[in-house]
Structure 1
Amino acid sequence: MTTVTPDPVSAAIAAFEPTFPLAVACSGGADSTALLAACSSRWPGQVRAVHVHHGLQEAADDFVARCEQTCRNLQVPLTVLKVDARHAPGESPENAARTARYRALDAYAQGTGAAAGTDEGAAPVRSIALAHHADDQVETMLLALSRGAGLAGLACMPARWERDGVEFHRPLLEVSGAAVRGFALAFGLGWAEDPSNDDERYTRNRIRARLMPALETTFPHFRETFVRSALHAAQAQSVLDEVAAADLEAVGAPPRLKDLQALSVGRQAQVLRRWLRTIHDTTPDTAQLAELQRQLAACRTRGHQLRLKVGRGFVVREGDALGWYNPAVLPPAT
């Protein structure tokens, strides 16, 4: 008896357990088209598609047309969300587009506002699937390494996370890009090619064009090992997050100087990051955090003041504790 081994995409979708209704974020490219086809084939009638129209390229309307054709062929309802993804001065165009895209998907999932695009009478979306694959994860890790990222950065993209009751999934994160395109070709799926993918002014494209082939030659199994390393980093970071959460509860929010000073340097750094990120929605860079810890160590007398630029605002001493403020929003406590 011959055993038929499923292709990697079908195997990944067989292991995928979303909550329904499920929406697939579809760009019109090969990866998201393959994901949409695989999901709609497995769960007919329970899948819808959502396309974010960035309006940044001349080909943007072609992407919409391709999504519309694909969804007609697959008999999947499509929602198109138009966003303003223009970047501010000094902001990365890629980051601006990514931020706009996720905001639109969040609004769509929550069904908030006319721009959210929720079909009238349709059940709210419970899960959104994204088509990032193993090659995308490797590129993300290489970018993180090039920037000197810590564990949080090396954890790269999570396979699943939840926000405001909506699940986000990346079911193809362990599947190679070649396998995803192979699936699309095997099933005769058409897709649109993004011309910006060949523009080597973007760092990610240079990684794809220059480093990925070299890794393929030198380390043939690099996708599996890099993805595994990202998983290990994510697991280690989750432990650090648990410790930091317990430490922040112990030192208080705002954190008390004496209790902070009693922590080891590493735990102190983690709890300061967590306090700034979770309470004040800001993140210190490496130099800012090191200087904050240096000044914190020296802050032993009542008369020793502290005021340091951190993230989008300032960390200051407020009596026996630390405070943070953004001068554009709120003056420091007196």
Structure 2
Amino acid sequence: AYSGGVDSTVLLYNLFKLRYKYPLLLRAIYVNHNLNYESNFWMKKCSLQCKEWNISFIYKNIYIKNKNNIEQNARKERYQVFKNIIYKNEILVTAHHLDDQCENFFLFLKRGSGPKGLSGMSKIKIFDNLILFRPLLKISKKQIIHYAKQKKLKWIEDPSNKNIKYDRNFLRNIILPKITNRWPFFKNSVIRSIINYKEQEDLLTDLINPILIKLIQKDNSLFIKPLYNFNIIKRNFIIRKWIEYNKYYYLPSRKLLFIIWNEIICCKNNNNPQIKIGSYVIRKYKNYLFCIKYFPNLKNTILVWKNIKIPLILPYKLGKLIILNININYKKDSIYIRKPKNDEIIYIKFNISGKCYFNSFKNKKNIHYIWKKLSIPKWKREQIPLLFYNNVLIAELENKLVTREGTATIYQKDNFFIFWSKIY
């Protein structure tokens, strides 16, 4: 990850030198946050440096829409770029150093974090199948600058690094210099504390893992019934570890854990309470807690399928619907239905109520009643495409439920199979 600053320049230079000893394949990526009018100029300088060292160079533009917490939002966007361009056999190398560790420690301390937050960055981290390597974690900023001058390296100075309205810059430029001026070995003491906190977190994780393994289900949900017998400290740690297990990387606060317990787990009515954290939603279904990706409400979404010869693309990466020729393209997971009449228009709707005669039931049933019997959580119901001819429900495409109005026989001409391909 190459920004052109002194840290990433020193890192890239060392990787460049390593190529003389090892068969190292190296690519550098510059992420332009478009927060400074000189960012395009910096990108060109980085490109020229990579050309001089014969390093493959990539640049990507990102635009931060939410300016409330610009550092955190920029980081999210930046790592999304990394995830999109990095190959399976590649490692992302970043130039985080000793001073970054200390700054992180203070930032997490400010938030009231426990051992997990205060245990700092690890040298190697794996998340979302991305391997992150930070080789400079034990090297101070002062050492990096000294090395860069010694090797006569050229780097970019971003003026925004001096802007103390950002918490990290306030620590970097005001607080930590005063502390280290009085106590020169303070940073080393912070590192010792980070190691101690990491050991505590690892020990707690080892002790709780046998319980956690039994509670986490195959679909990554959490069986919550035993939690009622645990004290608040133990259950909070289990819930936090479960959220972490679901690859949500921002630690839940004490307040958030309180809400999850009192307003979601202990909720007795059928209002399906939920809480959104970042791009995830915590929801309860029966005796299980789910941590799922946030999905927009499709209740008022209506799609018109004008040409059934062309697959219909569903919104929000739900896949596509395909009409299959009865003689050629039969698929096991498809549904056999009658063809629409000349005056019938094909619609796709979501989360619709109403009673119908379904082919596997004798009496009229509400589709929500069927979903409930099939133990389908509410949020999954909301994403199931429902096929209509005009205003008449023909089929529910997840569980292959066909209504009386949509039923076809094998002898009718031009009837077809419809297939929901969930990969798009």
Shorter-chain TM-score tier = 0.7 to 0.9
**1:284/1:310 contact within 8 Å kept:** no
Distance 1:171 1:291, change over 3 A: same
Letter in 2 for 1:288: L
Partner of 2:144: 180
**1:130/1:169 contact within 8 Å kept:** yes
Partner of 1:162: 126
Distance 1:176 1:84, change over 3 A: same
**1:292/1:308 contact within 8 Å kept:** no
Deviations 1:221-268 (A, max 9, x none): 122221232233233323333444432222344444441122333221
CA distance in 1 between partners of 2:214 and 2:271 (Å) = 22
Letter in 1 for 2:63: A
Greater CA drift, 131-140 or 94-103 = 94-103
CA distance in 1 between partners of 2:228 and 2:263 (Å) = 11
Q: Which has the higher helix share?
A: 1
**1:251/1:260 contact within 8 Å kept:** no
CA distance in 2 between partners of 1:185 and 1:240 (Å) = 44
Q: Taking every aligned residue pair, what percent have the same amino acid on both sides?
A: 24
Deviations 1:105-130 (A, max 9, x none): 222222xxxxxxxxxxxxx7522221
CA distance in 1 between partners of 2:256 and 2:128 (Å) = 31
1:259 maps to 2:226: yes
Greater CA drift, 277-286 or 160-169 = 277-286
1:101 maps to 2:65: no
Q: Tell me the SS of whatever aligns to 2:86.
A: helix
Letter in 1 for 2:145: R
Letter in 2 for 1:287: K
1:38 maps to 2:14: yes
Letter in 2 for 1:88: N
Q: Tell me the SS of whatever aligns to 1:161.
A: strand
Shift of 1:204: 0.8
Within a 5 Å distance, the mapping from 1:1-334 to structure 2 comes to: 25-44=1-20, 46=24, 47-73=26-52, 75-88=53-66, 90=68, 92-110=69-87, 126-163=90-127, 166-253=130-217, 254-279=221-246, 281=248, 284-293=252-261, 309-312=274-277, 313=281, 315-316=283-284, 318-322=285-289, 328=296, 331=378
CA distance in 2 between partners of 1:125 and 1:256 (Å) = 35
CA distance in 2 between partners of 1:192 and 1:324 (Å) = 41
Letter in 1 for 2:140: S
Aligned residues: 291
More relative contact order, 1 or 2 (CA 8 Å, 6+ apart): 1
**1:315/1:323 contact within 8 Å kept:** yes
Partner of 1:120: none
**2:246/2:291 contact within 8 Å kept:** no
Q: Tell me the SS of whatever aligns to 2:230.
A: coil
**2:62/2:78 contact within 8 Å kept:** no
Deviations 1:290-310 (A, max 9, x none): 3544579978xxx68896554
Distance 1:99 1:288, change over 3 A: closer
Partner of 1:114: none
Partner of 1:117: none
Structure showing greater radius of gyration is 2
Letter in 1 for 2:38: A
CA distance in 2 between partners of 1:54 and 1:198 (Å) = 17
Letter in 2 for 1:36: L
Shift of 1:181: 0.7
Greater CA drift, 254-263 or 150-159 = 254-263
Q: Tell me the SS of whatever aligns to 2:131.
A: strand
Shift of 1:207: 0.7
Shift of 1:135: 0.8
Shift of 1:26: 1.2
Distance 1:305 1:262, change over 3 A: farther
TM-score of the two chains, using structure 1 as the length reference? 0.75
* Gapped regions of structure 1 (runs ≥ 5): 1-24, 111-123
* Gapped regions of structure 2 (runs ≥ 5): 298-376, 382-424
Distance 1:38 1:307, change over 3 A: same
CA distance in 2 between partners of 1:143 and 1:137 (Å) = 10
Letter in 1 for 2:11: L
CA distance in 2 between partners of 1:165 and 1:320 (Å) = 30
Shift of 1:133: 0.8
